[in-house]
């Protein structure tokens, strides 16, 4: 058994002047690439024959920057990687650092982090639904209707975060051993009120999208990813679950408060764009249920470890290599840290961030051939890529 | 050209005739006012959105703040736009594209730098791939500070742009669009504050200094206290993995704080064995550079089993500098992009990789930035 090979190995130059094949550049500046991403498409009429993706237009060198910053300084930096879900970025990197340094996180901080992660999942999937509807364009009243609706609800979640952290995003609220900001008084009522509004409107969106005939036609059977390919490519999150793999780190390798608040994992079997859309829409409902359970059962206590690390000399003791992966809205966000050996002390020797979107984008050469140009946009949107995370 | 002549950036032959005709300059003045009003209240925006600020820009044009009520509308094509809003970090790979898109916009046109990355590069300023502010590439009219700026700040910035347009058309403020020498905003282009863009010769001393600062440790000197064993990974599969490594791959040492070190010759065989044993998901591979004597490279590979009770399997291989590591592309399709990234950034070659090209940096980039001897503020090739 060998791994399936993508179809981009043949140089595009071979096909120049061959029949009616046409080379089309998709991106790097294109509203449907969700950022700056370039795909060379070789077309036969309107059918894609080959697709060669070119990431890297937003490569900002975060991993190099990490070599000269201390562990605690990296929190606000990684916020900018997956800028749709900064909460889970911070959680991922600090979980790795805490494991490296053997720091215990208080129970209340773990619950708060999990609450923020679930609210973030709702906000992230709302943004995905809005932009995905824009990608599908004319199918949904210009798409802008769903987009405007989803942003309206996303603002409500951002308001919840702003009340705790003071920022709409790029929160910088996680820190080594716990959280920086405690929940304000009366926060539970506000969370419930916000989730009531969103839960009611989610029903509307489901009618607007998944029961919409045009939505169905444009997504059903488009961009099918087999479970074997998804596993081999390292696809994670909703993309993997839509391909029929029942895998979710929140349930399978629990962290935070997920061992106390069980998660129902949403799966689909068909692996097409519709399946990915359905998985995300259902995950929003599930996240709302989890967020309610988390805010209701929020334990009392300190929000940061008693022995907080304050001086760089304490980091100097750190050495070893750890990998920690958590389930962000887009899948497994991993952090591999190599500590020790950096004479500048409190900085990681090597930090590697394993972004779920990077793997999701690597599926494009496998699935795009054979589809229409308009399907390229639908497939790209259904993968929910964030370029800040793909390129870092 | 002097400032007063370029104040009207709307020109038409008939316009000059009107101005010259006796008595008609009153009418021309009214027409001019009308044009100013029209110009500043129908700004079509080309969002050059690359990262986080792009999301806040979307939020600004969405339901709550509704930028559209000021007559702006986002246009996804430069050909029909008046304002380019540069929202997000611009890298050396992207900068030539931004310049090209800017050149495609018809006059009169304006540029708004939104957020600290577009203004100055922010904390990526000194890093190898980043342009330190979009005003080193194109002229900027309005800067909106913030990381990212709130939608309200975006609206304030657009109002400031409207004010500026009115002042420029009245001749009270120098325009950006006349000649390069007259633009105060682009003075930086001739005299950049950031040395690395102009002075590629400066690197030797600074690089040496940086290397001294960064230190040149050897992996053998790393000695550490044992870490608490993570409960979630201390299952039976872990012991199975240890037995497998010991019996079939001759591994004798199992450090508590790092994945076991395996002979590089067994790299592919181990990956295939683990895949057949249920570790079917490719997670990541991490190459790291260890200068010193001898200079080595390490590659850590992480696999995962899926479903309930998911387990990680990780191992390292170490090779001397210049030696390649066998590629896992034949076992896991996901190794393709990960190994390309490690090749691009760390400079380690993967033998048998079918498509080992740069993935993050431009194709003509020289060097491998994540090597330890690469200074973290090393000069990069200026954008072209």
Per-residue pLDDT band for B267 (boundaries 50, 70, 90) equals confident
Tens digits of residue pLDDT in B326-363:
888 888 888 888 888 998 888 888 888 888 888 888 87
- Of A392, A9, A62, A291, nearest to B376 (Cα)? A62
Mean pLDDT of all residues in B137-147: 86
CA A343 to chain centre: 34
Residues A192/A196/A197/A199 CA torsion (nearest 10 deg): 130
Is the domain of A153 the same as that of A46? no
Query: How high is the pLDDT of residue B7?
Result: 47
CA atoms within 13 A on the CB side of A374: 8
Query: How high is the pLDDT of residue A328?
Result: 92
Indicate the residue of A3, A151, A321 with minimum beta-carbon distance to B258.
A321
Comparison of pLDDT for B28 and A263, the residue scoring more: A263
Comparison of pLDDT for B289 and B176, the residue scoring more: B289
Radius of gyration, CA atoms only, chain B: 29
Per-residue pLDDT band for B9 (boundaries 50, 70, 90) equals low
Per-residue pLDDT band for B194 (boundaries 50, 70, 90) equals very low
CATH code 3.30.460.80 region(s) in chain B: 219-351
Is the domain of A24 the same as that of A149? no
Tens digits of residue pLDDT in A159-178:
999 999 988 888 888 888 88
Is the domain of A339 the same as that of A372? yes
Is the domain of A125 the same as that of A19? no
Question: How high is the mean pLDDT of chain A?
Answer: 83
As beta bridge partners, residue A55 has none
Is the domain of A49 the same as that of A148? no
Using a CB-CB distance cutoff of 8 angstroms, which residues of chain B are in contact with residue A80?
51-52
pTM: 0.81
Question: Could you give the number of structural domains in chain A?
Answer: 2
Any A CB within 8 A of B17 CB: no
B202 pLDDT higher than 80: no
Lowest mean pLDDT among A12-16, A111-115, B353-357: A12-16
CATH number of B219-351: 3.30.460.80
In this structure, is residue A288 part of a structural domain?
A: yes
Using a CB-CB distance cutoff of 8 angstroms, which residues of chain B are in contact with residue A151?
58-59, 62-64
Query: How high is the pLDDT of residue A142?
Result: 58
Any A CB within 8 A of B222 CB: yes
**Three-class DSSP category at A304:** strand
Query: Which CATH class name applies to B3-198?
Result: alpha beta
For a pLDDT cut of 70, what percent of chain B falls above it? 76
Q: Do B288 and A55 touch (CB under 8 A)?
A: no
A87 pLDDT higher than 50: yes
Distance from CA of B73 to the nearest CA of A (A): 13
Is the domain of A76 the same as that of A43? no
Angle, helices A273-296/A107-136, rounded to nearest 10 degrees: 150
Is the domain of A38 the same as that of A129? no
Per-residue pLDDT band for A193 (boundaries 50, 70, 90) equals very high
Mean pLDDT of all residues in A145-152: 84
B4 Cβ contact list (under 8 Å, min separation 6): B171
Query: How high is the pLDDT of residue A199?
Result: 92
* Cα–Cα distance list, B94 to A28, A55, B150 (Å): 8, 11, 25
Q: Where is A323: in which H helix or E strand?
A: strand A320-328
Per-residue pLDDT band for A197 (boundaries 50, 70, 90) equals very high
User: What are the start-end ranges of the E strands in chain B?
Assistant: 44-49, 73-74, 83-87, 110-114, 142-144, 261-262, 281-290, 296-304, 312-320, 325-326, 350-351
CA distance A290 to A261: 7
Tens digits of residue pLDDT in A205-215:
888 777 777 88
In this structure, is residue A4 part of a structural domain?
A: no
Is the domain of A195 the same as that of A230? yes
B-facing residues of A in 136-175 (CB < 8 A) are 147-149, 151-152, 154-155, 168-170
CA distance B175 to B191: 20
CA distance B222 to A141: 61
Is the domain of A314 the same as that of A241? yes
Mean pLDDT of all residues in A103-116: 89
Q: Do A350 and B369 touch (CB under 8 A)?
A: no
B233 pLDDT higher than 50: no
In this structure, is residue A6 part of a structural domain?
A: no
DSSP B152-216: HHHHHHHHHHHHHHHHHHTTSS--SSS-GGG-STTHHHHS-S-HHHH-GGGHHHHHHHHHHHH--
Lowest mean pLDDT among B7-16, B191-200, B373-382: B191-200
Is the domain of A251 the same as that of A309? yes
Query: How high is the pLDDT of residue A41?
Result: 85
Q: Do A319 and B309 touch (CB under 8 A)?
A: no
Whether A248 and B306 have beta carbons less than 8 Å apart is answered as no
Among A6-10, A22-26, B161-165, name the most confident range: B161-165
In this structure, is residue A383 part of a structural domain?
A: yes
Is the domain of A36 the same as that of A66? no
Query: How high is the pLDDT of residue A104?
Result: 82
CATH of the domain at A196: 1.10.645.10
Lowest mean pLDDT among A307-311, A348-352, A353-357: A307-311
Tens digits of residue pLDDT in A213-244:
788 888 888 888 888 888 888 889 899 889 88
In this structure, is residue A112 part of a structural domain?
A: yes
Range of the domain at A299: 62-391
Is the domain of A38 the same as that of A132? no
Angle ∠(B211,A68,A35) on CA atoms, nearest 5: 120
In this structure, is residue A43 part of a structural domain?
A: yes
Using a CB-CB distance cutoff of 8 angstroms, which residues of chain A are in contact with residue B212?
none
Question: How high is the mean pLDDT of chain B?
Answer: 75
Any B CB within 8 A of A68 CB: yes
Lowest mean pLDDT among B101-105, B196-200, B335-339: B196-200
Per-residue pLDDT band for B6 (boundaries 50, 70, 90) equals very low
CATH code 3.40.50.12280 region(s) in chain B: 3-198
């Amino acid at each position: 058994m060998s791994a399936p090979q993508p179809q981009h190995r043949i140089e595009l130059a071979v096909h120049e002047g061959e029949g009616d094949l046409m080379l089309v550049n998709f991106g790097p500046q294109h509203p449907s690439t969700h950022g700056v991403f370039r795909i060379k498409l070789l077309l036969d009429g309107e059918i894609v024959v080959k697709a060669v993706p070119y990431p890297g237009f937003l490569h900002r060198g975060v991993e190099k920057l990490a070599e000269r910053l201390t562990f605690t300084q990296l929190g606000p930096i990684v916020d900018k990687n997956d800028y749709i879900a900064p909460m889970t970025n911070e959680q991922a990197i600090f979980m790795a650092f805490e494991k490296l340094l053997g720091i215990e996180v208080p129970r209340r901080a773990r619950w708060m982090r999990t609450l923020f992660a679930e609210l973030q999942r709702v906000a992230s999937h709302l943004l995905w639904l809005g932009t995905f509807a824009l990608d599908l364009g004319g199918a949904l009243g210009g798409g802008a209707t769903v987009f405007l609706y989803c942003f309206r609800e996303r603002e409500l979640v951002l308001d919840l975060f702003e009340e705790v952290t003071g920022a709409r995003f790029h929160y910088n609220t996680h820190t080594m051993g716990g959280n920086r900001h405690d929940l304000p008084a009366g926060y539970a009522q506000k969370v419930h009120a916000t989730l009531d509004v969103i839960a009611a409107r989610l029903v509307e969106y489901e009618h607007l999208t998944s029961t919409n005939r045009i939505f169905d036609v444009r997504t059903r059977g488009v961009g099918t990813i087999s479970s074997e390919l998804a596993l081999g490519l390292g696809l994670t999150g909703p993309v993997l679950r839509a391909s029929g793999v029942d895998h979710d780190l929140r349930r399978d390798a629990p962290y935070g408060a997920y061992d106390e608040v069980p998660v129902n994992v949403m799966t689909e079997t068909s692996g097409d764009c519709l399946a990915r859309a359905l998985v995300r829409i259902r995950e929003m409902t599930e996240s709302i249920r989890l967020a309610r359970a988390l805010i209701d059962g929020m334990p009392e206590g300190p929000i940061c470890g008693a022995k907080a690390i304050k001086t760089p000399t304490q980091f100097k003791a750190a050495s070893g290599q750890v990998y920690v992966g958590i389930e962000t809205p887009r899948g497994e966000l991993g952090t591999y840290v190599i500590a020790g050996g950096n004479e500048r002390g409190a900085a990681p020797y090597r930090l590697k961030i394993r972004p779920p979107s990077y793997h999701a984008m690597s599926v494009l050469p496998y699935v795009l051939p054979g589809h229409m140009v308009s399907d390229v946009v639908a497939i790209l949107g259904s993968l929910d890529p964030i370029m800040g995370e793909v390129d870092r | 050209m002097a400032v007063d002549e370029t104040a009207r950036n709307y020109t038409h032959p008939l316009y000059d005739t009107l101005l010259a005709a006796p008595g008609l300059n009153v009418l021309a003045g009214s027409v001019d006012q009308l044009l100013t009003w029209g110009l500043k209240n129908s700004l079509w925006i080309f969002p050059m959105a690359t990262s986080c600020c792009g999301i806040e820009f979307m939020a600004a044009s969405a339901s709550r703040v509704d930028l559209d009520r000021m007559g702006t509308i986002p246009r996804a094509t430069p050909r029909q736009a008046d304002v380019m809003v540069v929202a997000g970090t611009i890298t050396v790979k992207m900068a030539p594209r931004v310049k090209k898109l800017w050149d495609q916009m018809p006059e009169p046109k304006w540029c708004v730098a939104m957020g600290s990355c577009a203004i100055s590069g922010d904390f990526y300023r000194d890093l190898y791939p980043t342009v330190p502010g979009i005003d080193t590439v194109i002229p900027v009219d309005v800067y909106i500070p913030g990381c990212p700026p709130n939608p309200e700040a975006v609206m304030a910035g657009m109002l400031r742009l409207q004010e500026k347009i009115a002042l420029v058309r009245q001749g009270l403020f120098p325009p950006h669009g006349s000649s390069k020498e007259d633009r105060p905003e682009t003075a930086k282009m001739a005299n950049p504050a950031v040395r690395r863009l102009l002075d590629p010769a400066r690197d030797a001393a600074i690089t040496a200094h940086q290397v001294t600062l960064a230190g040149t440790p050897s992996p053998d000197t790393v000695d550490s206290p044992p870490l608490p064993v993570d409960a979630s990974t201390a299952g039976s599969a872990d012991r199975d993995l240890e037995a497998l490594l010991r019996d079939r791959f001759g591994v004798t040492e199992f450090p508590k704080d790092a994945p076991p070190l395996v002979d590089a010759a067994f790299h592919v065989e181990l990956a295939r064995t683990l895949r057949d044993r249920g570790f079917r998901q490719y997670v990541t591979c991490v190459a790291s550079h260890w200068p010193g004597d001898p200079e080595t490279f390490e590659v850590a590979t992480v696999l995962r089993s899926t479903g309930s009770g998911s387990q990680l399997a990780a191992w390292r291989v170490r090779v001397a500098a210049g030696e390649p590591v066998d590629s896992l592309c034949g076992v896991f399709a996901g190794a393709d992009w990960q190994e390309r990234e490690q090749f691009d950034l760390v400079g380690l070659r993967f033998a048998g990789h079918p498509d080992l090209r740069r993935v993050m940096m431009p194709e003509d980039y020289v060097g491998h930035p994540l090597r330890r001897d690469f200074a973290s503020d090393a000069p990069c090739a200026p954008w072209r």
